[in-house]
Amino acid sequence: MKKIIILLCVFLLSGCSTKFVYNNASWLVYWYLDDYVELNNQQEEQFDEMLNQWMDWHRSTELPKYQAHIEEIISDIKTKQIDEERIAYHREKGRDHWQRGRAYAAPDIVTLSKTLNDKQVAYLFIQLEKQNIEDEEENTEERELTTTQQTKKWVKRNQKGAKKWIGKLNNKQTLHITQYRDRFEKTGDHWLTYKRNYQQALNALFLSPERSNKFEETLLALILYPDSYRSEAFLSASEANIKASTEYLMGIIELADKKQINRMIEEIEALKQDIVSLND
């Protein structure tokens, strides 16, 4: 957590942009990875080669897809085609971006994981559980707040998010955000249970003394299909929240005036330009 705070300070003080993060991905990844596992020299060399290959692939193959997708979003906003169907389309397309990256990197992650020794594996899962405990404490703190306090916190966070994209909110938008607080189901405890179940399956695999083809196949499946460890209750709550977030977003946009729509387009255009600049 300390490192995340330091990184945020660096970003704020440097006026951090998408380009800054992307072009410094290597040391940012190592900074984060160091909290969970300490690689030896040979592993670091292997990981450096993998990371460089991932970044080259992502820059040449994926960034153009991001740019094209953003252009679709801008076109939909300009032509007032932001409805439930289009939002679902863009959400699924965004998920595809993430899944392609995961699928591309997964075989390399499996290869590197086979080289981890018992000490590295033990440290990894100790650190993961420390993060789980932090999350558990945050969930407890949230539950200890009164309903009014929880609502105020949620509304403030979502108003800030909306303002980032469309500027100052009008009274109807402010009321809309407040009214949607109760439409969203809480998933903090579901998320923590999912993480622990998933990590338990990973740990059981790494406790196996052999690093055979079976190990590779099982780890690859764990990386590619983690959602199989989500409970039915978690999946149901997530689907309900997707529906609520779609209606919430549609409401914000429907209540937006021309100035706000133009501000949103400008913000998305700026994101597109950041992506374009990464290939300059």
Give the per-residue pLDDT at 18: 65
Please state which of the ranges 16-30, 81-95, 101-115, 191-205 shows the lowest mean pLDDT: 16-30
Secondary structure class of 208 (helix, strand, coil): coil
Q: Give strand ranges (E) for the chain.
A: none
Residue 17: pLDDT band with limits 50, 70, 90: low
Give the per-residue pLDDT at 20: 67
276 vs 28, residue with greater confidence:
276
Characterise 145 by phi-psi region: left (phi > 0), alpha (psi -120 to 50), beta (else).
beta
Q: Which domain holds residue 113?
A: 36-277
**Residue 139 pLDDT more than 50?**
yes
Q: What angle do CA 182, 183, 186 make, to 5 degrees?
A: 75
- List pLDDT tens digits, range 155-194: 999 999 999 999 999 999 999 999 999 999 999 999 999 9
Secondary structure class of 40 (helix, strand, coil): coil
Residue 190 resides in a domain: yes
**Residue 280 pLDDT more than 90?**
no
Count of structural domains, the chain: 1
Mean pLDDT (the chain) is 90
Residue 3 resides in a domain: no
Residue 15 resides in a domain: no
- pLDDT average, residue stretch 76-95: 95
**Residue 2 pLDDT more than 80?**
no
- pLDDT average, residue stretch 63-92: 95
Nearest to 234 by CA among 279, 175, 185: 185
Residue 141 resides in a domain: yes
Residue 5 resides in a domain: no
Residue 206 resides in a domain: yes
Residues contacting residue 96 through CB under 8 Å, at least 6 positions apart: none
**Residue 126 pLDDT more than 80?**
yes
Residue 23 resides in a domain: no
- pLDDT average, residue stretch 68-85: 95
How far, in Å, CA of 28 to CA of 9, rounded?
13
Give the per-residue pLDDT at 12: 38
Residue 25 resides in a domain: no
Q: What is the pTM of this model?
A: 0.88
Give the per-residue pLDDT at 165: 96
Percentage of residues in the chain with pLDDT exceeding 70?
92
* Residue 260 contacts residue 166 (beta carbons within 8 Å): yes
Give the per-residue pLDDT at 23: 73
Secondary structure class of 233 (helix, strand, coil): helix
What length is written for the chain? 280
**Residue 71 pLDDT more than 80?**
yes
Residue 25: pLDDT band with limits 50, 70, 90: confident
Give the per-residue pLDDT at 150: 94
Please state which of the ranges 5-19, 52-66, 212-226, 230-244 shows the lowest mean pLDDT: 5-19
